[in-house]
Amino acid sequence: MALLYPSEEWLIELKDSLNANPDYEKAAANWEGALILHIQADENLDKDYFLWADPYHGKVRDAKLLNSLDDEKAEFVLSGKYSTWKTVVKGDLDAMKAIMKSKIKVKGNMAFLLKQTKASNVLMKVQQSIDTLFIDEQ
């Protein structure tokens, strides 16, 4: 059954899929620092969503939906419109390309993120493998 995006169920499925993926464990072996994916409302989404995850040395220790940016600490906050995140989740737009095009704004250590392309590439593939129902396509 398809999981709604964005939602906590979808996020948990992503976490579990990443934790079961040896490529991710290897690619993200150096990752430390929680991140928030801030999905901003636009014409296809009526409110903001905050997806929080805590990747650590190749595993995602925890993941949940927040009510606001202040609910949990995060070393990285990536913010973009829902329509941008949708294209990223679908695999139509690379996350790094989205950052370079200013479609996703980054708060946090950009120098660290630039070195995590392998982890990002695995994440993209895993996202695309999740059976997803986008909220505006219900």
Partner 1 sequence: MSTQEAVVVSALKVEEKGINRENVQNILAELHDALGEDWATNDDAVLTSYGRDFTIAVGKKPNIVALPGSTRDVQTIMKLAKKYGMPVVPFSTGFNHAGLTLPRIGGILLDLKRMDKILKIDEESLTITIQPHVRNAVIYTAVKKHSASEGLPLRAAIPLTMGSASTLANYVARGGSGIMAKVGNTPEFIVNMTWVLPDGEIVKFGPSAVPEVEDIPVQWGPGPDLSGMFINADGMFGVCTEMTIKILPEWPIEKLYLFDAEDDDRSLESACDFIKNICQEDLIDFIYKSSYCQMATGLGIGDPVDLSESMPEDPVMVILSGWDEEEVEIRTEITEDIAEKTGMYAVDIAAFDYGEDLMFEPKYQKRIGPKIGSVMKHKGAFQFTACYVKIDKIPGMVKDYYKLREKYWRDSDPDVTPRMSMSGTAIQGPLPFCRVSTLEYDLWWDQGDPEEVKRASQLIRKANELNLKHGAMLWRNMYGYGEIHFPLLGKYFELLKKTKQVLDPDNIMHPDINPVTDDYV
Query: Residue 107, interface with partner 1 (CB under 8 A)?
Result: no
What's the burial of 50, exposed, middle or buried (CB within 10 Å: 0-12/13-18/19+)?
A: buried
CA atoms within 13 A on the CB side of 8: 6
Nearest to 76 by CA among 115, 47, 43, 41: 115
- Contact segment (CB under 8 A) with partner 1 among 36-44, 48-56, 67-75, 91-99 equals 91-99
Among 20, 68, 110, 125, which residue sits at the site for partner 1 (rule: CB under 8 A)? 110
In terms of CB distance, is 7 or 87 closer to partner 1? 87
- Residues in contact with partner 1 by CB under 8 A are 96-97, 99-102, 105-106, 109-111, 114-118, 120-121
